[in-house]
């Protein structure tokens, strides 16, 4: 091992020998090859994914760029996720930031490992796709999210509304602005041109995404759960922070999608789930399925659902972590092989793996 490492570090080692050392089982040896100025270009490109900083700090880098001005691009193509995986030299980040290819800039916008100054410049990128990807980056600061929430492009604002780190005040501004616009159009029954119809649809979608975001205030959820529009009530029901009192009421909604969202929500009270398990409305079997999956579902209801006539519901019961062992013991003998396997895996997790 020591001899191989010394060879890899030796600048007089022939390129073909370095090619052999590049596939060594020893990480230190491979990294040393990446640093060696005699290493062939194609080998450096292959090593870039594992040791990008070693390749970028190779003494021969300037010469390589003179010989092949597209060398950085070749490196990037070998691993398009490199900006998300490593902290890289500023000169390479600058190459990506000012690259004519928006896909490269978009990849940089996904990174959590670049300086704030780069994020700031990306927020002003001429390509909306780059700004959109930046808007969903959970590492960008609040001030940048606020700026992007006012972007003229729908896709950018949409991603801000979905970002798990977007604070409640920005979500409230997005929701309030969008709600005022489409409520005004609906209330006045104003005929819509094609472009206006698109804006109406987009604003409603952003509004619903913002309402689904768990960071939005409870006050707004309490305001919108009584909306006469199905999409809005559905968004409230799907919010993982929706209050139990609201979910209790929405469990009686006539729309299947809303009852399904309540059945899936981990904030739904146990008694409400007990009620939904008895749902007799349209597509009631899907409601029972989501109740069977919910970790808040009571043992008594899980016991009843374990006897459901539909295999996929019994399977969901077998996979529920709250299902009692006595119920799982019964499901081990279920007529469905998938249910039996799920029950065995739940009872004997180590033996079944």
Residues 288-346: pLDDT tens digits? 999 999 999 999 999 999 999 999 999 999 999 999 999 999 999 999 999 999 999 99
SS3 59: coil
Give me the pLDDT at residue 176, please: 80
CA distances from 242 to 12, 169, 266, 346 (A): 67, 17, 9, 30
Question: In this predicted structure, what is the pLDDT of residue 197?
Answer: 54
- SS3 for 22? coil
What pTM did the predictor assign? Answer: 0.78
pLDDT surpassing 80 at residue 1: no
pLDDT at 217: 94
Quick check: 132 and 159 in contact, CB under 8 A? yes
The whole-number pLDDT of residue 175 equals 85
Q: Is 292 helix (H, G, I), strand (E, B) or coil?
A: helix
* Secondary structure (DSSP) of 256-280: HHHHHHHHH-TTS-HHHHHHHTT--
Whether residue 297 contacts residue 322, with contact meaning beta carbons closer than 8 Å, is answered with yes
pLDDT level of residue 39 (50, 70, 90 thresholds):
very high
pLDDT of residue 148: 96
Quickly tell me which residue has 């690259």 as its tokens.
Answer: 99
**How many Å apart are CA 331 and CA 121, to the nearest integer?**
58
Cα–Cα distance measured from residue 299 to residue 297, given in angstroms and rounded to the nearest whole number? 7
pLDDT of the residue at 349: 81
Count of C-beta atoms within a 10 Å radius of residue 216? 27
Q: What is the mean pLDDT of the chain?
A: 92
- Whether the pLDDT of residue 184 is over 50: the answer is no
Q: Is the pLDDT of residue 185 over 50?
A: no
- Per-residue b/e over 95-106, b at no fewer than 16 CB within 10 Å? bbbebeebebbb
Q: What are phi and psi of 25, to 5 degrees?
A: -75, -10
Record the tokens describing residue 235, joined without a space.
Answer: 């968004």
Mean per-residue pLDDT, 19-29: 94
What size, in residues, is the chain?
353
Cα gap 207→260, rounded to integer Å: 20
Contact 263, 273 (CB under 8 A): yes
Q: Which two tokens stand for residue 183?
A: 């409520």
In terms of Cα–Cα distance, which of 78, 48, 77 is closest to 61?
48
Burial class (CB in 10 A: 0-12, 13-18, 19+), 152: exposed
How far is residue 327's CA from residue 311's CA, in Å, rounded to a whole number?
Answer: 15
Question: Three-class SS of residue 183?
Answer: helix
- For residue 177, the model assigns a pLDDT of 73
């Amino acid at each position: 091992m020591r001899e191989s490492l010394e060879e890899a570090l030796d600048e007089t080692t022939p390129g073909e020998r370095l090619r052999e050392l590049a596939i060594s089982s020893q990480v230190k040896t491979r990294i040393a090859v990446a640093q060696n100025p005699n290493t062939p270009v194609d080998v450096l490109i292959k090593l870039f994914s594992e040791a990008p900083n070693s390749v970028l700090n190779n003494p021969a880098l300037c010469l390589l760029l003179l010989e092949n001005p597209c060398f950085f691009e070749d490196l990037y193509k070998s691993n398009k996720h490199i900006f998300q995986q490593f902290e890289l030299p500023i000169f390479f980040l600058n190459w990506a930031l000012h690259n004519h290819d928006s896909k490269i800039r978009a990849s940089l916008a996904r990174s959590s490992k670049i300086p704030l100054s780069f994020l700031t410049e990306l927020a002003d990128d001429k390509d909306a796709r780059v700004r959109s990807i930046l808007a969903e980056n959970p590492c960008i600061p609040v001030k940048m999210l606020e700026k992007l929430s006012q972007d003229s492009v729908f896709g950018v604002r949409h991603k801000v509304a979905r970002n798990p780190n977007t604070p409640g005040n920005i979500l409230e501004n997005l929701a309030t602005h969008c709600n005022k616009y489409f409520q005004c159009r609906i209330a006045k029954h104003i005929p819509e041109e094609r472009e206006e119809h698109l804006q109406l649809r987009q604003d409603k979608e952003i509004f619903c995404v913002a309402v689904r975001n768990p960071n939005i205030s409870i006050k707004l959820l309490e305001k919108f759960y009584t909306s006469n529009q199905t999409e809005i009530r559905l968004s409230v029901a799907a919010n993982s922070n929706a209050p139990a009192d609201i979910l209790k009421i929405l469990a009686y909604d006539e729309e299947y999608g809303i009852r399904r969202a309540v059945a899936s929500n981990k904030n739904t009270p146990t008694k409400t789930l007990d009620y939904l398990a008895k749902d007799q409305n349209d597509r009631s079997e899907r409601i029972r399925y989501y109740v069977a999956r919910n970790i808040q579902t009571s043992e008594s209801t899980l016991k009843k659902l374990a006897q459901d006539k539909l295999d996929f519901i019994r399977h969901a019961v077998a996979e529920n972590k709250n299902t009692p062992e006595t119920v799982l013991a019964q499901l081990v003998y279920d007529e469905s092989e998938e249910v039996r396997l799920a029950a065995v895996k739940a009872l004997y997790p180590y033996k079944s793996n």
